[in-house]
A and B are shown apart, each in its own frame.
Chain A
């Protein structure tokens, strides 16, 4: 099941470092998302892109910068990592951008900042 894939699966790093997470979907979808799932399992949207254009940009520190080189890829770069950034980050994709289409999630990237 590689419809939505993410790398790396695990990421352990020191405070202050910069890291990137990559996401790819082979479903032909137009819209991709990044979600953050905290230790209490709460799923919160961070960003969404439709056909490489930023659609949703929630109140996220500007240390987080998404990049979509094409509609099949959405990467997340995080600068100056902080302890509070520790979470599971999920990429997802859907056919449309109205929020009314099934979103397919990637396997998640478990980020631990020490």
Chain B
């Protein structure tokens, strides 16, 4: 069935380092890939998204890349700060109007 695999499940970096989270998806018809950040006890909030007609998108310290041939996409956070600590979810749209979420990555940024 439709599936989104996300790695790693946990990631610990030093403040100022970069963090990379990777996702793969199974539905070749997927064409919308959002990333959500969820702080402890809070709601998931969109931080960046990418559509299948582009390969890369940047927003300040956050960037997302998409490789449709390989069916994978990645989130890159540069110059990490302690407030970046949260759980990050990737997702992919699938036929039928659904978003399938990855399992989440718990990012910890140590000062």
Minimum Cβ distance to chain B for residue A78 (Å): 20
Cα A48 to Cα B99 with chains together (Å):
11
Tell me whether A66 is interfacial, beta carbon within 8 Å: no
- What does DSSP make chain A's interface, helix, strand, loop or mixed? loop
The count of chain A contact residues (Cβ–Cβ below 8 Å) is 23
**In the complex, are the beta carbons of B101 and A42 less than 8 A apart?**
yes
What's the A-B contact tally at a CB cutoff of 8 Å?
56
Cα A3 to Cα B51 with chains together (Å):
25
Q: Find residues 18-65 in chain A having any chain B CB closer than 8 Å to their own CB.
A: 31, 40-45, 48, 55-56
**In the complex, are the beta carbons of A99 and B49 less than 8 A apart?**
no
Contacts of A55 in B (CB 8 A): 97
**In the complex, are the beta carbons of B46 and A102 less than 8 A apart?**
yes
Contacts of A102 in B (CB 8 A): 34, 46, 49
Minimum Cβ distance to chain A for residue B16 (Å): 26
Cα A1 to Cα B99 with chains together (Å):
23
Minimum Cβ distance to chain B for residue A107 (Å): 5
Contacts of A98 in B (CB 8 A): 93, 97
The count of chain B contact residues (Cβ–Cβ below 8 Å) is 25
Cα A100 to Cα B38 with chains together (Å):
20
Tell me whether B98 is interfacial, beta carbon within 8 Å: yes
- What does DSSP make chain B's interface, helix, strand, loop or mixed? strand
Contacts of B38 in A (CB 8 A): 41
**Contacting A107 at CB < 8 Å: which of B42, B87, B96, B99?**
B42
**In the complex, are the beta carbons of B93 and A43 less than 8 A apart?**
no
Q: Find residues 70-114 in chain A having any chain B CB closer than 8 Å to their own CB.
A: 90, 97-108
Tell me whether B31 is interfacial, beta carbon within 8 Å: yes
**In the complex, are the beta carbons of B103 and A42 less than 8 A apart?**
yes
**In the complex, are the beta carbons of A90 and B97 less than 8 A apart?**
no
What is the interface of chain A, defined by CB distance below 8 A to chain B?
31, 40-45, 48, 55-56, 90, 97-108
What is the interface of chain B, defined by CB distance below 8 A to chain A?
31-32, 34, 36, 38, 42-46, 49, 51, 87, 89, 93-94, 96-101, 103-104, 106
